[in-house]
Amino acid sequence: MARSGNRDEFSDATKTRLAMRAGFRCSMPDCGQQTIGPSDESPDSVINVGVAAHICAAAPNGPRYALDMTREQRRDIRNGIWLCATHGQEVDRDVIRFTSDKLAAYKIEHERAMQVELNAGRGSFRGMDLVALGPDVVCIGELFGTSGREWTIRISHFVEGDLRRVIEFGERFDQLDPYDRYLLVNSLGDGRLLAGPPAWRRDGQFIEFSCLVEEKFPRIDAHNLGRTFATNSSNDIFITGGGIAMVEGLDALPQRIKESLSMLLGESPFHPKVGSRFKEYFDAFEDSPWLSRWTRLEVIRLACIPYRDPVDDRRYTQLQCVLHVEEIEQLDAVRAGNWVKFRFKLDVKGVGQWECLIPIFVPNDNPP
Ligand SMILES: [Zn+2]
């Protein structure tokens, strides 16, 4: 594929997310070839073996080019289909057989099959889930073992960052913002600050990290959560009984979760580390089981990693009273207006297992 400045290429993030949605397998019916595997060059072999093909071409001389599409639409994840290298070439050679409608239908069918597999934890997803090492590295892997405070993670591949970023993370460990020195493990529902830089080694097609983690940061009893403004279903504060409605104690927890996930990371000038990447993940994985997994990873960070409040110089985890994140389940496949609802199953200090339906605000950039 010739590279040129006029091509509306997918970004690397879009390519990886397209691969994730396809379960890292070719979307062509009756192919389903694994597009990740052992690679001597780089553990990030996703890009090497699979192809993010355009359903409608990236440039005017390409196959299935649609004149009425904007540049953004051509680069959008919705215009991509994940294929093995062989089928990536075949669909571009035979545009009579592989129309854009046909490719779009293959994609939907394949993603649906992968959803079933992912939800059931079958096939290549057995025991596999997301693991984050600081803010720039996210992998698919499993917890291989713990020994005292040493956690060992086995990585099958990277979905953000690569091995070079891990090495950099280790080398710059002492200069990093203390809040960014963390390990989050979805399959455990837990995350910890790291006591030192991670060690890594290659084991066949896997990469293994060993991390010495700090002790669990102390949480407060949920009944002692401080007073905060209550918000209604349009995310506004409201008046009740002549005053502004407030919540405290356990009633403040849904409010706190809603606020933390609804706020974009970096949005607050006083608290640049507060908020989440939920909107970004929603845009890529709205109708995929990956959305619940990315959301869980964010909630683990908010629940388990202590943050130093620069305003009142105090350390606390953003959700303050949540010990573990047991389960996050998306309730509606499509958003209602600007909201999407999840069921949160959490282990809460002073309460034990706690369940709640909480809507998260996600601004709709493409209203129908
Ligand atoms: Zn194929």
pLDDT digits (tens, 9 = 90+) for 216-243: 999 999 999 998 888 877 777 788 888 8
| Average pLDDT value for residue range 265-289 | 87
**Gap from CA of 34 to ligand 1 centroid (Å):** 9
**Gap from CA of 84 to ligand 1 centroid (Å):** 4
Q: Residue ranges per domain, the chain?
A: 12-124, 129-212, 222-361
**Gap from CA of 146 to ligand 1 centroid (Å):** 38
SS3 for 328? strand
For residues 215 and 49, the model is more confident at 215
Its CATH class, for the domain covering 222-361, is alpha beta
In the chain, the amino acid numbered 210 is S
Secondary structure (DSSP) of 78-96? GGEEEEEHHHHHHHHH-TT
**Gap from CA of 27 to ligand 1 centroid (Å):** 7
| Average pLDDT value for residue range 80-103 | 94
Q: Which long-range contacts (CB under 8 A, 24 or more apart) does 162-165 make?
A: 162/42, 162/43, 162/44, 162/137, 163/42, 163/43, 163/44, 163/200, 163/207, 165/136, 165/137
**Gap from CA of 31 to ligand 1 centroid (Å):** 5
Question: What is residue 269's predicted lDDT score, i.e. its pLDDT?
Answer: 82
Question: What is residue 214's predicted lDDT score, i.e. its pLDDT?
Answer: 96
**Gap from CA of 120 to ligand 1 centroid (Å):** 24
Longest dimension (CA), the chain: 70
| Average pLDDT value for residue range 45-71 | 84
pLDDT tens digits, 239-252: 888 888 888 999 99
| Residue 37 clears pLDDT 90, i.e. is over it | no
**Gap from CA of 254 to ligand 1 centroid (Å):** 45
| Average pLDDT value for residue range 245-271 | 89
C-alpha 155/C-alpha 217 separation (Å) is 26
**Gap from CA of 24 to ligand 1 centroid (Å):** 11
| Average pLDDT value for residue range 134-141 | 93
In the chain, the amino acid numbered 207 is I
Q: Are strands 80-84 and 50-54 parallel, antiparallel or unpaired?
A: antiparallel
| Average pLDDT value for residue range 332-348 | 88
